[in-house]
Structure 1
Amino acid sequence: MKKINPFKPHSPVPTAMFAGRINEITTFEKGLHQTKNGSPNNFLITGERGIGKSSLLMLYKPLATGAISTDYGNFNFVTINTVISPRTNMLTFIKVIERSLKREIGKIESVRSFLNDTWDFVQRIKVLDSGIEQSKSTEDPDLVIDDFAYSLSETCNRIANPEKGEQAKDGIVIFIDEADNASCDLHLGYFLKVVTEMLQQHGCDSVMFVVAGLPDVIEKLSASHESSLRVFNQLKVKELSPEDRHYVIDRGVEEGNKVNEEQTTISADAKRHISTLSEGYPHFIQQFSYSAFDTNTDGEISEDDVLNGAFNVGGALDSIGSRYYESQYHEQIKSDEYRQVLSIMAENMSSWVKKSDIREKFTGNDHTLTDALKALTARKIILKNTSKMGEYRLQQRGFALWIKLFGNRKK
Structure 2
Amino acid sequence: MNKVNPFKPNSPVSTGMFAGRMKEIVLLEKALFQTKNGLPCNILVTGERGIGKSSLMMILKDFASGYVETLEHGKFNFLTIGGMVSDKTDLVTLIRLIERNVQREIGKTDALRKYLSATWAFAKRIRIMDSGIEAEDAISDPDIIIDEFAYSLAQTCERISRPEKGEERKDGILFIIDEADNASDSLRIGYFFKVVTELLQQHGCHNIMFVVVGLPEIADKLLSSHESSLRIFNQVKITELSPSDRKRVVDLGLEEANRINEDKTKISEEAKSHISTLSEGYPHFIQQFSYSAFDFSSDGEISSDDVLDGAFDKGGAIDSIGARYYAADYHSKIKSDEYRQVLSIMAESMNSWIKKSEIREKFSGADQTLTDALAALTKRKIILKNSSARGEYRLQQRGFAIWIKLFGERRK
TM-score normalised to the size of structure 2? Answer: 0.91
Q: Is the 8 A contact 2:161 2:169 kept in 1?
A: yes
2:323 matched to 1:322?
Answer: yes
Against the structure 1 CA distance between its residues 94 and 364, is the aligned structure 2 distance closer, same or farther, given a 3 Å change threshold?
same
1:65 matched to which residue of 2? 65
Amino acid at match of 1:17: M
Match of 2:42 in 1: 42
Counterpart-to-counterpart distance in 2, 1:100 and 1:138: 21
Range that drifts further, 249-258 or 81-90: 81-90
Q: 1:227 Cα shift?
A: 1.0
Q: Which amino acid aligns with 1:166?
A: E
Q: 1:291 to 1:119 in 2, by over 3 A?
A: same
Q: CA 1:58–1:402 in structure 2 vs 1: closer, same or farther (change >3 Å)? A: same
- Write out aligned runs for 1:307-346 (5 A): 307-345=308-346
Aligned counterparts of 1:391 and 1:23: Cα–Cα separation in 2: 33
CA distance in 2: counterparts of 1:323 and 1:12, whole angstroms? 14
Alignment of 1:126-205 (within 5 A): 126-130=127-131, 132=132, 139-205=140-206
* Alpha-carbon distance in 2 for matches of 1:256, 1:248: 13
Distance 1:208 1:376, change over 3 A: same
Contact 1:349-1:401 at 8 Å conserved across structures: no
Q: Percent identity?
A: 63
C-alpha root-mean-square deviation of aligned residues, in Å? 2.6
Distance 1:352 1:179, change over 3 A: closer
Asked whether the equivalents of residues 125 and 139 of structure 2 are also in contact (C-alpha less than 8 Å), the reply is no
* Amino acid in structure 2 at the alignment position of 1:285: I
Count of residues paired in the alignment? 406
Compare 243-252 and 85-94 and name the one that shifted more: 85-94
Q: For 1:239 and 1:337, how far apart are their aligned partners in 2?
A: 31
Matches of 1:198 and 1:53, distance apart in 2: 29
Name the structure 2 match of 1:401: 406
Secondary structure in structure 2 of the residue aligned to 1:359: helix
Query: Relative to structure 2, which stretch is displaced further, 322-331 or 107-116?
Result: 322-331
Report the alpha carbon displacement of residue 327 of structure 1 after superposing the two structures with TM: 1.4
Change (3 A) 1:168 1:344: closer
Q: Could you tell which deviates more after superposition, 386-395 or 179-188?
A: 386-395
1:374-406, Cα deviation, whole Å (9 max, x unpaired): 554565644679999867665332222124446
Deviations 1:18-58 (A, max 9, x none): 11111111111111111111110000000000000111111
Partner of 1:291, secondary structure, is: helix
Question: Which residue does the alignment assign to 1:247?
Answer: 248
> What is aligned with 2:55?
55
Alpha-carbon distance in 1 for matches of 2:351, 2:151: 50
Per-residue deviation, residues 329-368 of structure 1 (Å, max 9, x unmatched): 1233354432231244457777886644532443433233
Query: What are the equivalent positions in structure 2 for 1:6-405 lying under 5 Å apart?
Result: 6-70=6-70, 71-130=72-131, 132=132, 139-345=140-346, 355-356=356-357, 358-376=359-377, 381-382=382-383, 395=398, 396-405=401-410
Conserved in 2, the CA contact under 8 Å of 1:346 and 1:401? Answer: no
Distance 2:309 2:321 in 1: 15
| Matched position secondary structure for 1:185 | helix
Runs of 5+ unmatched residues, structure 1? none
TM-score by length of 1: 0.92
**What is the SS of the residue equivalent to 1:87?**
coil
2-side partners of 1:392 and 1:43: how far apart?
Answer: 30
Deviation at 1:265, TM superposition (A): 0.3
Decide which moves more: 113-122 or 354-363.
354-363
Q: Counterpart amino acid of 2:370?
A: L
Residues 41, 232 of structure 1: 8 Å contact kept: yes
**Aligned equivalents of 2:28, 2:379: Cα separation in 1:** 33
In structure 1, distance between residues paired with 2:194 and 2:214: 17
